Amino acid sequence: MKLSALLRRTDVKNEYTDVEISYITDDSRKCRPGCAFVCIEGKSFDGHSLVSSAQEKGAAAIICSKPVEADNQVMVENTREAYALMCCEFFGNPSDKMTLVGLTGTNGKTTTSTLIYQVLTAMGKKAGLIGTVSNIIDGVKQESVLTTPDTFDLNRMFREMVDCGTEYCVMEVSSQALDQSRVAGCHFDVAVFTNLTQDHLDYHGNLENYIEAKKILFRNCDKAVANLDDGSYEKMFGDAQCPVMTYSAKNDSADLTAKTVKLNPGSVDYAIVGISMIGRVHYNTPGMFSVYNSMAVIGCCLQLGLDFDEAINALSEVSSVPGRFEVLDTDTDYKVIIDYAHTPDGLENVIGTLNEIKGEGRVITVFGCGGDRDAAKRPIMGRVVSELSDIAVVTTDNPRTEDPEAIIADILEGMKDSKNETHVKVDRTEAIEFALSIAKENDLVLLAGKGHETYQIIGKEKYHYDEREKVREYFEKIG
């Protein structure tokens, strides 16, 4: 493909030689003869410093945002955006050939996107999924590395979906991906907003930047679906340029409202009411957050022009999402639940739900906080867990390059006034085994934070770590 064709939608500041390009990359290690190398400037590394290495490996064009020593350099304002637009062109703009649905929010993205994918499939539509737990193309699951993939991989997956006849692609869109222009060049038919609470401030710096990053998605969509009950709704949609369908469990002014909500031990039931429409929803996951997630699914289906009743019926048949309120089969008189909750709001939702269904039992929560991430939320998470759990077991999550005990010390700052029982077990396996050893009849043991993850990051190494295996090994050990 000619370089000029790849740069068709990119604002170029200088003249360049229009050569044939065989490949595009922002990784100098992947450079090959005839490729275009895009210099990405990050927080800790600048791709402009690798131009000579890229040319030695045969790069035919260098895309840059500042002058470099290169035979054929192309100057642009934003190399991240240019890379995304070039990847779209390289793969033939595949996202334009499907109905594209994007979801963003602090909590609920994975569950809601998976539900939309399952509902579409149940309704006979050929759909694909891109998200945190897995990517699904032509019904085949692929391992997911990032919530929103690198722009080259993203467009490659779009191309695979189009080539196998996919009609709908449902994808999670993270705030980092939006800020880094990973989805630049992609226009969404429908974009969904679940909620917004404190998270990723280690990356964005403050809540305002976090909100602004999320808003990018809604400037690049035809229609939106949004949670009217979320405190950030006005900031997110006060200046929205697209039609917004709102959903609420509290406000009758919403387009869709949940009425007569019944929170069951293993499900939710409610009436969903809209203009000239009413339906009875049954969804097989408990908790008020399940009401909101399922309403977002129905709203999305309506914005896609799909049948209201058919969507509700399909929703009642879908399966649970791995690592999201996942109840393990332990054959005990108490229950063990795995959930990805790793924010204050996420923990409050899940533990609150457990308190609603615990009956005479206790809630025992095992949790930690990730290292090299937003440290400000650690004491807040500690306070939430200590206030809502009968017993809290503080441990390690993914410490990365931080000292696990220092992370735990941050958590404990928020728990120092707690009247409930608190234990510290730095080793996560020891913490899980301790929680299981003290569990009694009717208790609910929550393993929070890792969810679908089957690894633990210590230092810069990723080790296999599956909590399901640790639970099974504990019961095998005690016979």
Instruction: Tell me the residue type at 410.
Output: D
The average pLDDT across 99-119 equals 95
The percent of residues above 70 in pLDDT, for the chain, comes to 98
Condensed to tens digits (0 to 9), the pLDDT of residues 355-395 reads 999 999 999 999 999 999 989 999 999 999 999 999 999 99
Between 238 and 119, the higher pLDDT residue: 119
Which residue in this structure is represented by tokens 């404990």? 412
Least confident of 219-228, 291-300, 319-328: 319-328
Task: Give pLDDT, residue 202.
Answer: 65
Condensed to tens digits (0 to 9), the pLDDT of residues 11-27 reads 999 999 999 999 999 99
- What contacts 185, CB < 8 A, 6 or more positions away? 9, 84, 85, 87, 88, 93, 95
d(CA 357, CA 335): 11
Query: What are the structure tokens assigned to 17, written together?
Result: 């030689």
Condensed to tens digits (0 to 9), the pLDDT of residues 239-248 reads 888 999 999 9
Give the number of other CB atoms < 10 A from CB of residue 478. Answer: 9
Condensed to tens digits (0 to 9), the pLDDT of residues 345-356 reads 899 999 999 999
Which residue in this structure is represented by tokens 């003290």? 438
- What contacts 46, CB < 8 A, 6 or more positions away? 39
Task: Name the average pLDDT for the chain.
Answer: 95
Cα-based distances in Å from 214 to 126, 146, 219, 224: 28, 17, 10, 13
Task: Give pLDDT, residue 204.
Answer: 60
Could you give all domains of the chain from N- to C-terminal order, each with its CATH number?
3-90 (3.40.1390.10), 94-315 (3.40.1190.10), 326-478 (3.90.190.20)
pTM of the model: 0.88
In this predicted structure, the answer to whether residue 436 has a pLDDT above a threshold of 80 is yes
In this predicted structure, the answer to whether residue 200 has a pLDDT above a threshold of 60 is no
Cα-based distances in Å from 415 to 347, 371, 384: 14, 19, 8
Query: What are the structure tokens assigned to 361, written together?
Result: 């039992």
Condensed to tens digits (0 to 9), the pLDDT of residues 249-296 reads 999 999 999 999 999 988 999 999 999 999 999 999 999 999 999 999
In this predicted structure, the answer to whether residue 445 has a pLDDT above a threshold of 90 is yes
The average pLDDT across 218-225 equals 97
- What contacts 399, CB < 8 A, 6 or more positions away? 370, 371, 407, 457, 458
Torsion angles phi and psi, residue 457, rounded to 5: -100, 115
Task: Give pLDDT, residue 201.
Answer: 62
Query: DSSP E strands: which ranges in 34-87?
Result: 35-38, 61-64, 73-75
pLDDT band at 199 (very low <50, low <70, confident <90, very high): low
d(CA 136, CA 140): 5
The average pLDDT across 160-182 equals 96
